[in-house]
Structure 1
Amino acid sequence: MTDTTVAATQRLGIETTGIEIIDESERTAQPKDLFWPWFAANVSVFGISYAAFVLGFGISFWQATLVTVLGIVTSFVLCGIVAIAGKRGSAPTMILSRAAFGVTGQKVPGVISWLVSIGWETFLAIMAVLATATVFEQLGWGGGTGTKVVAAVVVAAIIVLASVAGYHIIMRMQSVLTWVTGAVTILFVIIAAREIDWSAVAALPSGPTQSVIGAFVMLMTGFGLGWINISADWSRYQHRSASGGAIVFWNTLGGALAPVLLVTFGLMLSASNEEVLAGIPSDPIGTLATILPTWFLVPFLVAVIMSLISGAVLGIYSSGLTLLSLGVRIPRPAAALVDGIILTLGTFFVVFVAQDFLGPFQSFLITLGVPLASWAGIMIADIALRKRDYDDDALFDVRGRYGSWDWVSIATMGVASVIGWGLVVNNFAQDAAWNNWQGYLLEPLRLGTYVDDPAGGYWEGAWPYANLGVLLALVLSFAVTYVARRAKVEQQEALVDG
C-alpha cells in the first residue's frame, strides 16, 4: 500500500497491521480494555441453552452449578495465560506459537486453528440466521426463504465489514454491544424468572463422578477453550510492561462473568420447565423464545443476533491473522475478507442447500477440538517456561533461535491427539456416521461398551460421554512439554540477540 493509502485507511480507523510485530507507539491498550471484547462475545441468552446440555449428564443442580463455575472460569483462565504471550510478543497467537513449534512447524497447529476458527464462526452466523427465521415465524411475519436470505446477507455483511476494519473498530463496536446485549439479557432473565420452580430444582438427583467430569469438560470446551487459539490476538496491543496477572484477570472476568451467571440461571430454568429442557438441544433459540411475551420477541432477537455476530467477528478477524501466519501473502483486511467470504458461502450452503449438514459440520469441528486442546497444553507450558519477551525477529526467521521445526512439540501433539480421540465419542453419531471411529480406547480400558443397535448405535456407561480425551490431551501435552522442552527453552533464552 502507498503512504497515501495507509494514511487514508488509518483516518477511517481501518487496521492495516497484519501479523507483524506491533510498534511500541501503538501498544497503548490497558489490561482492563480486554474486558469488553470478551464480555461482548460471551454475554448472550444463547449461553442459557448450555444448561440443558449440562443437566443432560444426569447431575443435580448443585453439582451442575459447581462444574459451571469451575469449568467456565478455568477455561478462561487458560485463555488469559495464552493472552500473556500477546503482550510479551505483540503478535498474533499463531505467530507467537512458533516459539513452541518452530517457524515452519507452527503450520501444523495453524491449519487446525484456522479450520476451527472459521468453522465455529460460520456456525455462529448460521445460528443467527436460523434464530431470525424462528422468531419471525413466532411473530407471524414469516420465517421462510425470503427472511433467511435477508438475514444471511445482513449478518454476513456486518461480520465481514467489522472484521475487515480490524482491531480498533472491533474494540469500539464490542464496547457498545456489551451494553445493548447485556441490558436485554438482564431483562430476559427477569421475565423468564417467573418460570422457576424451586421444588423441581431441588429435586434433581445427584449423578456419578463420571457425569460431573463430563459436564465439566463440556463447559470448558464450549466456552474458554473454544477461544484459546485466538486469545493473544486481543492482547498484542498491550504494553510490554503490562501486568501478566492483570491480563489474566480481565480476560477471565470478561469472558466468564456472563456465562457463569447465565448458565446457572439456565440450570434453574431448565430444571423447572420440562419443555425447555427437552426443546433446547434441537432448537435453543426457538425454545427460549416460547416462554417470552410477544412484545419482547424483537428485542430478544436483536440481542441474540448481536451476541452471535459479536463472537463471529472476533473469530473471523483472528482466522484472517491465522491465514496470514500460514504464509498467505495478502494484506490483513484482504485476509479477513477472504475468510468472511468463506463464512458467507458456508452460511448460505448450510441454510439453503444442505440443511442436514449442521450435525456433521459440528462433529468435524468437535473432533478438531482434541488436537487444539493439545496445542493449548503445549503453548501454556511454553509460556510458563519462558522468563523473557519473545525474540521478534526469530519469530519470522527459520534460522533464528526458534528454528524451523520443533519435533518434540509436533510429536507431543500427534501422540496426545491419537490418545485423546480414543477417549471421546462422536456426539452426532446418526448424522456423521463416518466419524464413529473415535472412542477406540474406551472398550480396551473398560471405560464403556458400544451397543450396536439397529436403531442407532450408542455407548453404554458414563465415561464415554465424559470427553476424557479433550482433558487428557490438554494435561498430557502440558506435562510432557514442561518437562521435555525445559532445557531447550532455557537454551533459546540464553542466546544473545543479534
Structure 2
Amino acid sequence: MSDLQETRRLGVERTGIEIIDEADRTARPADLFWPWFAANVSVFGLSYAAFILAFGISFWQGLLVAVVGIVASFALCGVIALAGKRGSAPTMVLSRAAFGVEGQKVPGAVSWLVSIGWETFLAIVAVLATATVFERLGWSSGTSTQVVATVVVATLIVAASVAGYHLIMRLQSWLTWITGAVTLAYVVMTVDEIDWSGVQGLPSGSDQAVIGALVMVMTGFGLGWINIAADWSRYQRRDASGRAIVGWNTFGGALAPCLLVVFGLGLAGSSEELLLGVADDPIGTLSTLLPTWFLVPFLLAAVLALVSGAVLGIYSSGLTLISLGVRIPRPAAAFVDGVILTIGTIYVVFFAESFLGPFQSFLITLGVPLAAWAGIMIADIATRRRDYDEAALFDAGGRYGSVDVTSLVTMAVATFVGWGLVVNLFADEASWNNWQGYLLGPLGLGGKDGAWAYANLGVLAALVIGFLVTLVARRGTIARQESATVG
C-alpha cells in the first residue's frame, strides 16, 4: 500500500524522511502555490513595514527594500525546492549530498532550532492577538484568555502537523481563500488611515540603513523558510519543470507579502502610535484600526494565517529531528516539537517582558549560519547535473560519504565572518548576544557604533561566501559523486 493510500485510510501521513514512492509523486508545480501563499497571506505581513521604517528610511526606500528582499529571498527558496524534485526526500536529507550523511547533522541542528523558533514566534503572535482583540470587545483578556488561546493555537498546529502532508495541502488551499478575503477587507477598511503626503515626506535614510532593512526582510521572509523549501516539492512528479517549481515557489511566497508590506508602509508611516505598538503586539495593534463588528472575523483569519505558517514549520522541524538520528515516527516527532512550541509560547506570553528584541536578535544570530548553509546548498544544486542517488543519502559509505570536510569548514568560516559583521541591536533585552560584531572594527567599518553596524552585512556575507567557495572548491567532488558507480 502506498503512503497516499495509507494516509487516506488512516488520516495520518506515516512517511518520515524516507524516499517518496513514485506512485505518490503526483503533485504539479502549481500545487506549490497554495502552501506558500497561505503561510504568507497574513496581516502580520503588514507589521514588517513598521520594522522596515524603524531603520529610519523613507517610504520609497522601504518600497524598494520590500519588493527586492521578498522576491529575491523566495526565489532562493525556489532554487532549494529543485532538490526536492531531484531526490524526493526532505530538505535536510538532501543536504547530506553536500555535507555528508553524518556531517549534515551540523546544519540540521541549526535548521531545527530555526524552525522551532519560527513556529513558536507565530504561535506567540496568535495568542497575543487573541488577548488584544478580546480586550477591545470587552471580553475577558486576562490570564485565563491567554491560557485558552495558547491551548487552542498549539492544538491546531500540532494536530495538522501530525496529520501530515496531504491534509496540510488541502487545508492550505482552503485557508488561502479565507485569510486572503479577510486581509483584502482589512486593506479596504483601513486605506483611509493613510496620509500619503506625510508618508512620502518621510526623510531618507543612509545606504547602511537600507541594506540593514533589506537583510532583515530577506531573513524574515524567504530565508526564514529556506531550510524547509524542498519538503513541499518532494511530492512533485519526476518530469516536473524546474523553472516552474522555482516560479511557483517564488510567486506563491512573495505575492501577498509584497502587497501587504507596501500597504503597511503607508499605515506605519502615517501613525507613530502604530509604528511603536507593532513592536510588542503586531496583530493586536493592527486591529485597533478596525470597527468592532469586524474584530472577530479579523482575529479568526489572523490566527488561521499564523497557524498555517506554524504548521509548515512544525511539520518540517519534525522531519529534521528525525534526520538528526532521533528514531521516532514522523507524527511523534511533530508532537515532540509541538510540546516545545507550547512551552516556548507559555514562557514568552506569561513571563517575558518583550519578545520582539530577543526574537530579532535570535533571528539574525541563527540567520548567519543558515545563510551560510543556503549558499553552500544553492551552489551544490546549481553544479549538479543529475538526480540524487537516493539510497546513498542514507548510507555513510555511499557516494556522498560520511562527512564532507570542505562544506563544514566553509560553513564554519562563513559563520565566523558573518557573526563578526552583525551586531546585537537589542543589547539590553538579549545581552547574551553582545559578543557579535567583532570584525567591524578590524575591517575598518566603524566598529560596533559605526554606521555599518546596522547593515547586518554578516547575513549577506555568509550567503555569498558559502556560495562562492562551494562553487569553486566542490566542483570536482560533485563531478566524482555523479560519476561514481551506484553500489
Structure 2: distance between partners of 1:287 and 1:310: 21
Give how far 1:199 is off.
0.9
Q: Which residue of 1 aligns with 2:122?
A: 124
1:260 to 254, 258, 261: 258
Contact 2:40 2:305 in 1 (8 A): yes
For residues 158 and 30 of structure 2, what CA distance do their matches in structure 1 show? 26
Amino acid at match of 1:216: L
Segment drifting more, 331-340 vs 183-192 = 331-340
Counting only pairs closer than 5 Å after superposition, residues 20-169 of structure 1 correspond to structure 2 as 20-169=18-167
| Secondary structure of the corresponding residue to residue 84 of structure 2 | helix
The structure-2 alpha-carbon separation of the partners of 1:445 and 1:232, relative to structure 1 and needing over 3 Å to count, comes to same
Relative distance call for 1:8 and 1:253 in structure 2 (3 A) is closer
Question: Quick one: percent identity of the two aligned structures?
Answer: 73
Q: 1:209 to 1:357 in 2, by over 3 A?
A: closer
Where do 1:476-495 residues align within 5 Å?
476-495=465-484
- Against the structure 1 CA distance between its residues 55 and 350, is the aligned structure 2 distance closer, same or farther, given a 3 Å change threshold? closer
Q: Secondary structure at the match of 1:58?
A: coil
Query: Taking structure 2 as the reference length, what is the TM-score of the superposition?
Result: 0.97
Mapped to 1, the partners of 2:60 and 2:360 lie a distance apart of 29
Say whether the 8 Å CA contact 2:280–2:356 is kept in structure 1. Answer: no
The runs of 5 or more residues in structure 1 that have no matched partner are: 451-458
Amino acid at match of 1:73: V
Aligned partner of 1:469: which letter?
G
In the TM superposition, structure 1's runs of 4+ consecutive aligned residues that sit over 3 Å from their partners are: 3-10, 353-362
Q: 1:436 maps to which residue?
A: 434
CA contact (8 A) 1:6 1:16 kept: no
Match of 1:233 among 231, 234, 237: 231
Bigger shift: residues 387-396 or 49-58: 49-58
Question: What is the CA RMSD across the aligned residues, in angstroms?
Answer: 1.7
Q: Give the Cα–Cα distance (whole angstroms) in 1 for the partners of residues 116 and 357 of structure 2.
A: 16
> Aligned AA for 2:258?
V
Q: Any idea what the Cα deviations from partners look like across 1:185-229, whole Å, max 9, x if unmatched?
A: 000000110011121122122222212111111110010000000
C-alpha change, 1:200 and 1:323, in structure 2 (3 Å) is: same
In the superposition, relative to structure 1, how do residues 8 and 214 fare at CA in structure 2: closer, same or farther (>3 Å)?
Answer: closer
Q: After TM superposition, give the deviation of residue 336 of structure 1 in Å.
A: 0.8
Hey, what's the Cα distance between the residues in 2 that align with 1:311 and 1:236? 19
Q: Is the 8 A contact 2:74 2:222 kept in 1?
A: yes
**Which whole-Å deviations, capped at 9, do the CAs of 1:298-342 have from their partners, x for residues lacking one?**
111111111110000000000000001011111111111111111
User: Is contact 2:53-2:62 (8 Å) kept?
Assistant: yes
How far is the alpha carbon of 1:360 from its aligned partner?
3.5
Matches within 5 A, 1:369-408: 369-408=367-406
Q: Quick check: 58-67 or 481-490, which moved more? A: 58-67
Q: Secondary structure at the match of 2:424?
A: coil
CA contact (8 A) 1:85 1:232 kept: yes
Question: What code does the residue aligned with 2:125 have?
Answer: M
Return 39-48 or 5-14, whichever deviates more.
Answer: 5-14
- Report the number of matched residues: 487
Aligned residues of 2:125 and 2:281 also touching (Cα < 8 A): no
Write the deviation string for residues 451-484 of structure 1: whole angstroms up to 9, x where unpaired: xxxxxxxx3x431111100010001110000000
Deviation at 1:359, TM superposition (A): 4.0
Of 201-210 and 429-438, deviating more is: 201-210
Give the superposition deviation at 1:365. 4.1
Cα deviation for residue 230 of structure 1 reads: 0.2
Mapping 1:167-182, distance limit 5 Å: 167-182=165-180
Say whether the 8 Å CA contact 2:3–2:15 is kept in structure 1. no
Gap change, CA 1:110 and 1:6, over 3 Å in 2: same
Superposed displacement of residue 363, structure 1: 2.6
Pairwise CA distance, 1:380: 0.2
The residue matched to 1:59 in structure 2 has which SS?
A: coil
Report the TM-score when normalising by structure 1. Answer: 0.95
Looking at structure 1, the residues matched to 282 and 480 of structure 2 have their Cα atoms a distance apart, in angstroms, of 51
Q: CA separation in 1, counterparts of 2:393 and 2:166?
A: 24
Unaligned segments of structure 2, at least 5 residues: none
1:352 is displaced (CA, Å) by 2.6
